[in-house]
Amino acid sequence: MSPAKVAVIGGSGLYRLGLLAGAEPVNLHTPYGPHSDGLVMGSLAGRKIAFLPRHGLSHRLPPHRIPYRANIWALRELGVERVVALSAMGGLRPDYEIGDLVITDQFIDWTRGRECTFFDGPRVVHTSMADPFCPELRGILARAAEAAGFRVHTSGTALTFEGPRFSTRAESRIFRDILGADLLSMTQVPEVVLARELGMCYATCAVVTDLDVWGAAPVRADEVTQVMKRAEPKLAELLSRAIPEIPEARSCGCAEAVREALGERKEEER
């Protein structure tokens, strides 16, 4: 099986759009158990890619039950070096509108108890996450999103909390006014962290599906789903434009963070 250097992690909508040509199902064994079902390899805009619905087929895995380590490990086994993540997120900023697209540049981890590292002992590695998202991918995705018709925000801090419930008003005030979060996610962490630990580039296209408790009414899951469905054609065009623009050779430093961390560990052991 020839490698797929680019992977898209997202929802099942890409299947409905028929975006992948020659899609073939893939099922890999990983040291971390089974990955989410629905992993396929196919072609998009002439490039071989892997596609993984993080919640599995039929959206059966809640955010806290997604096998994040198995998912990222499986993509690495397929030869993936770059990950484009599509995600629905709640907006906390007054200039965000439902349907906007945000290319995140920072995250805040508010999760509890998730397995968020491949280095959980006895080997301990401290990987830098100062700039967690690939600048090269972010630029490509931002340009493609604008061309696809999205109202684009080229930066944003996403706070990841456990879910699957939505936040309380008190929590939302803390997230927005004290922690300075711009977006709320249930899945970005530990996905982005695990990708960095394996030296993979990672970037997120976040669709603002709701305004959390600052909207006219509390968030409803069915309304979030409807916003994502309406965004699917533009997401498909975004990917069709962005994937061919991703160069074969990486010019970013995403792979260096873990190499440097591993090098520091070797120095400590001497």
Q: What is the DSSP letter of 130?
A: S
Angle, helices 188-197/256-269, rounded to nearest 10 degrees: 60
Nearest Cα to 137, choosing from 189, 72, 82, 80? 82
The residues that bridge with 87 in the sheet, in sequence order, are 206
| E-state strands within 129-214 | 152-153, 157-161, 183-185, 201-210
Write out the two tokens for 222: 């069915």
The residues that bridge with 202 in the sheet, in sequence order, are 83
State how far the Cα of 250 lies from the Cα of 233, in Å rounded to an integer: 28
Nearest Cα to 32, choosing from 77, 63, 79, 83? 77
Write out the two tokens for 213: 């408790």
Alpha helices in 113-219 (DSSP H): 135-147, 169-173, 188-197
Q: Could you give the residue numbers annotated as active site?
A: 210, 212
Q: Cα angle at 109 between 104 and 112, to 5 degrees?
A: 145
Is 169 exposed, middle or buried (CB count within 10 Å of its CB: 0-12, 13-18, 19+)? exposed
Alpha helices in 13-134 (DSSP H): 13-17, 68-77
Write out the two tokens for 123: 């080997």
